[in-house]
């Protein structure tokens, strides 16, 4: 629809005309794509973009340092500290603890030490990262219990932390990337 444009003439009288710019005129704008897209399509495209970013790991790069499988390096020492009942050397060799931090925030723990053979699942999220100390604080939720843990990065493939799956253990343990 054409909109009226009012001009003042030299005599001071207001005149009215309908202005329709040609394609070559600077006020002519090309047709927009947005009117052709419905609101639901725009929302769908936006949701796909967010989903793609989530899969691609958009976000804090420090968070990705912990993603992966981590196996305990001190199984024998832990067995001594938790005073497992009569562990043979064969059982000690099989003792292990594995922590898996998934990119999507899922957490899995597997522990096999003496008579203990358990698997737990939960969630984790990064709370903070301190580049000066090369450490990260994470929040873990396992079986409706939430706890915070400080992870120290010894090197790219070694971390130290109090495991989130062992209530009562306060000793920091070393884990190697698997």
Write the CATH number for 164: 2.40.128
Task: Give a yes or no: residue 18 inside a domain.
Answer: no
Q: How many helices (H) and strands (E) does the chain have?
A: 3, 10
Q: How far apart are CA 57 and CA 64, in angstroms?
A: 8
Task: Give a yes or no: residue 123 inside a domain.
Answer: yes
Task: Give a yes or no: residue 44 inside a domain.
Answer: no
DSSP secondary structure code for residue 34 in this structure: G
Number of domains observed in the structure of the chain: 1
Tens-digit pLDDT profile for the chain (178 aa)?
Answer: 555 555 555 555 555 555 565 666 555 555 555 556 677 777 777 777 666 655 444 557 899 999 999 999 876 555 555 554 444 544 444 568 999 999 999 999 998 877 888 899 999 999 999 999 999 999 999 988 899 999 999 999 999 999 887 767 788 999 999 9
Task: Give a yes or no: residue 56 inside a domain.
Answer: no
Query: Which residues form the domain of 155?
Result: 61-177
Among 14, 20, 17, 22, residue whose Cα is nearest residue 4: 17
Q: How far apart are CA 58 and CA 73, in angstroms?
A: 31
Task: Give a yes or no: residue 90 inside a domain.
Answer: yes
Task: Give a yes or no: residue 141 inside a domain.
Answer: yes
Task: Give a yes or no: residue 136 inside a domain.
Answer: yes
């Amino acid at each position: 629809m054409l909109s009226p444009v009012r001009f003042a003439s030299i005599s001071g009288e207001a005149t009215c005309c309908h202005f329709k710019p040609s394609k070559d005129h600077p006020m002519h704008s090309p047709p927009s794509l947005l009117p052709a897209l419905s609101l639901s399509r725009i929302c769908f495209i936006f949701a796909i973009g967010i989903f793609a970013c989530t899969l691609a790991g958009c976000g804090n790069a420090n968070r990705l340092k912990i993603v992966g499988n981590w196996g305990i390096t001190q199984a024998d020492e832990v067995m001594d500290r938790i005073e497992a009942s009569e562990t043979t050397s064969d059982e000690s060799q099989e003792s292990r603890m594995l922590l898996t931090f998934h990119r999507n925030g899922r957490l899995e723990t597997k522990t096999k030490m003496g008579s203990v053979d358990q698997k737990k699942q939960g969630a984790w999220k990064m709370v903070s990262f301190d580049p000066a100390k090369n450490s990260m604080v994470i929040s873990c939720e396992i079986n409706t219990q939430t706890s915070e843990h400080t992870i120290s990065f010894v090197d790219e493939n070694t971390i130290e932390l109090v495991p989130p799956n062992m209530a009562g253990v306060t000793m920091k343990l070393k884990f190697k990337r698997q």
